[in-house]
């Protein structure tokens, strides 16, 4: 069974025995990993990563907003509702995605490609505080922006699916440490419909669809089921999301990635706790719809000794029947 087959079977709930392994290790540790292993790719090969999270592709705002920023114009929902987002159809914008797919296909990995959601994508434009304020002050104008964002995302995903991705991965942070950043009713009215439309379009092509949303998203989990996501990352246990909730209510609805918490477990030099937590999570989730993964990017406080200690253990436990 290839890594790709392992991930698909796991996320479908078919219990293939082994556990898929992945980790967000590159963003803060690329140089350290390269110094130790020669490249990040060598690290991924050493631990036989079963998944590949590929970044790249076009940006909707880089060109269209540049003149407005140069003039110092305030970027409000009204402004974005009246401009055309950047072109999505230049195939040269997808070269980095094509290169990533070519590399990981040689290793038969499950390839999921980062795409934009609705809320998170616009935080960089508005600023997150302004964005939350605009949701209350300018809901109609913002809904038009969200509609345009969803249209752009659907066309972007069309190109990615044509390139042969296994999964469209939608990144849209909704949660804070203990709750969502907006009310469940506001989420349901303003954000949910666009995710529902996007995922429906993506699934017409037969690919899997996953959601990344940091923090506590418990109030939105029933909506995640309704939208049709195949799996989510992370299931963040330390953000009011106990594994008991997943096992009791959602394990037959979608799969999860996570289990190695960057906020409390890895990167703190506490090897006893690190080992204990990894073993506890495997004992809880092995043979479920779960892939072992870090909850986010491992921070640069993590030494190479600790990183290899963690993944030596993860790989051993994942391969056990």
pLDDT over 90 at 13, yes or no: yes
CA neighbor of 212 nearest in space, from 88, 120, 98, 104 = 120
CA neighbor of 258 nearest in space, from 228, 238, 240, 276 = 238
What percentage of residues in the chain have a pLDDT greater than 90?
A: 98
- Note whether 113 and 168 are within 8 A (CB): yes
Instruction: Determine whether 321 is exposed, middle or buried from the number of CB atoms within 10 Å of its CB (0-12, 13-18, 19+).
Output: exposed
- Looking at residue 15, its pLDDT comes to 84
> How far is Cα 136 from Cα 50, in angstroms, rounded to an integer?
42
Token couple for 136? 């209350």
The sign of the torsion formed by the CA atoms of 192, 196, 197, 203 equals: positive
| Each residue's pLDDT tens digit, 260-291 | 999 999 999 999 999 999 999 999 999 999 99
pLDDT band at 208 (very low <50, low <70, confident <90, very high): very high
- Looking at residue 90, its pLDDT comes to 87
More confident residue, 17 or 77: 77
Q: What mean pLDDT comes out for the span 189-214?
A: 98
- CATH entry, 3-319, from 3.80.30.20, 3.20.20.150, 3.50.50.60, 3.20.20.210: 3.20.20.210
- Looking at residue 145, its pLDDT comes to 98
pLDDT band at 197 (very low <50, low <70, confident <90, very high): very high
pLDDT over 90 at 16, yes or no: no
pLDDT over 90 at 305, yes or no: yes
- Note whether 258 and 237 are within 8 A (CB): yes
Helix (H, G, I), strand (E, B) or coil at 296: coil
State which H helix or E strand residue 209 sits in. Answer: strand 208-212
pLDDT band at 125 (very low <50, low <70, confident <90, very high): very high
pLDDT band at 198 (very low <50, low <70, confident <90, very high): very high
| Each residue's pLDDT tens digit, 49-95 | 999 999 999 999 999 999 999 999 999 999 999 999 999 998 899 99
Helix (H, G, I), strand (E, B) or coil at 119: coil
Contacts for 44 with CB less than 8 Å, ≥ 6 apart: 52
In the chain, domain spans: 3-319
Work out the mean pLDDT of the chain and round it to a whole number: 96
- Looking at residue 91, its pLDDT comes to 83
CA neighbor of 138 nearest in space, from 150, 126, 153, 152 = 126
- Looking at residue 234, its pLDDT comes to 97
> How far is Cα 156 from Cα 143, in angstroms, rounded to an integer?
20
pLDDT band at 295 (very low <50, low <70, confident <90, very high): very high
pLDDT band at 130 (very low <50, low <70, confident <90, very high): very high
Token couple for 132? 């939350």
> How far is Cα 262 from Cα 234, in angstroms, rounded to an integer?
11
Helix (H, G, I), strand (E, B) or coil at 140: helix
pLDDT over 90 at 321, yes or no: no
CA neighbor of 255 nearest in space, from 278, 223, 276, 228 = 228
- Looking at residue 78, its pLDDT comes to 95
| Orientation angle between helical segments 192-203 and 139-163, nearest 10 degrees | 20
> How far is Cα 203 from Cα 191, in angstroms, rounded to an integer?
19
Q: What mean pLDDT comes out for the span 34-54?
A: 98
Helices (H) then strands (E): counts for the chain: 15, 7
The sign of the torsion formed by the CA atoms of 235, 240, 242, 245 equals: negative
Q: What mean pLDDT comes out for the span 157-182?
A: 97
């Amino acid at each position: 069974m290839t890594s790709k087959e392992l991930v698909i079977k796991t996320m479908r709930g078919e219990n293939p025995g082994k556990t898929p392994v992945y980790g967000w290790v590159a963003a803060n540790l690329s140089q350290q990993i390269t110094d130790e292993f020669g490249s990040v790719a060598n690290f991924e090969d050493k631990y036989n990563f079963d998944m590949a999270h590929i970044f790249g592709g076009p940006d909707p705002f880089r060109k269209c907003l540049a003149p407005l920023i140069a003039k110092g114009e305030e970027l409000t929902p009204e402004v974005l509702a009246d401009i055309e987002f950047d072109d999505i159809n230049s195939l040269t914008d997808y070269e980095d995605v094509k290169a990533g797919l070519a590399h990981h296909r040689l290793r038969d990995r499950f390839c999921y490609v980062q795409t934009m959601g609705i809320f998170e994508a616009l935080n960089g434009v508005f600023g997150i505080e302004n964005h939350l304020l605009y949701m209350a002050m300018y809901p109609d104008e913002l809904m038009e922006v969200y509609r345009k964002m969803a249209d752009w995302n659907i066309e972007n995903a069309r190109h990615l699916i044509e390139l042969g991705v296994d999964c469209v991965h939608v990144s849209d942070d909704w949660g804070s440490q203990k709750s969502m950043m907006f009310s469940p009713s506001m989420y349901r009215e303003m954000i949910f419909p666009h995710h529902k439309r996007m995922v429906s379009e993506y699934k017409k092509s037969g690919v899997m669809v996953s959601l990344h949303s940091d923090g506590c998203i418990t109030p939105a989990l029933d909506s995640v089921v309704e939208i049709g996501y195949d799996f989510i990352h992370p299931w963040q246990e330390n953000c009011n999301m106990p594994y008991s909730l997943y096992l009791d209510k959602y394990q037959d609805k979608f799969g999860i990635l996570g289990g190695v918490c960057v906020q409390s477990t890895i990167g703190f030099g506490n090897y006893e706790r690190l080992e204990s937590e990894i073993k506890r999570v495997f004992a809880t989730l092995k043979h479920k719809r779960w892939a072992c993964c870090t909850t986010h990017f491992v921070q640069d406080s993590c030494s190479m000794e600790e990183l290899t200690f963690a993944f030596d253990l993860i790989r051993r436990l994942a391969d056990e029947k």
